């Protein structure tokens, strides 16, 4: 019984650490300069929020797949920012 309690506690700590790693995607692309990229960022943020809602509705029991999706959306968001920066650099070429 004690081993089960320790396993549950360890699992909860791991999940909270992972959740802290994949933060909510930030909106850091100018909609005036890059309206399409900024819109894509908003959509990735909306998707992230829906995944959080799904996790809550399912008591976080999704075998890690929802967390992985959130991490990928964070990666998407970072790539979108890099795309906007590249467009800024290449605009005058």
Residue with tokens 């309206």: 35
Sign of the dihedral defined by the CA atoms of residues 3, 6, 8, 10, in that order: negative
- Say how many C-beta atoms besides its own lie within 10 A of residue 69's C-beta: 18
Q: What is the pLDDT of residues 7-36, one digit of tens each?
A: 566 555 555 444 445 678 888 898 999 999
pTM exceeds 0.85, yes or no: no
Q: What is the pLDDT of residues 47-77, one digit of tens each?
A: 999 999 999 998 888 899 999 999 999 999 9
């Amino acid at each position: 019984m004690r081993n089960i309690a320790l396993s549950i506690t360890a699992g909860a700590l791991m999940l909270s650490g992972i959740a802290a790693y994949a933060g909510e995607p930030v909106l850091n692309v100018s909609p005036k300069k890059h309206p399409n990229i900024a819109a894509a960022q908003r959509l990735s943020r909306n998707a992230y929020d829906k995944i959080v809602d799904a996790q809550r509705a399912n008591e976080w029991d999704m075998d890690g797949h929802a967390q992985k999706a959130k991490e990928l959306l964070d990666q998407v968001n970072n790539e979108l920012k890099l795309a906007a920066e590249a467009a800024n650099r290449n605009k005058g070429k």
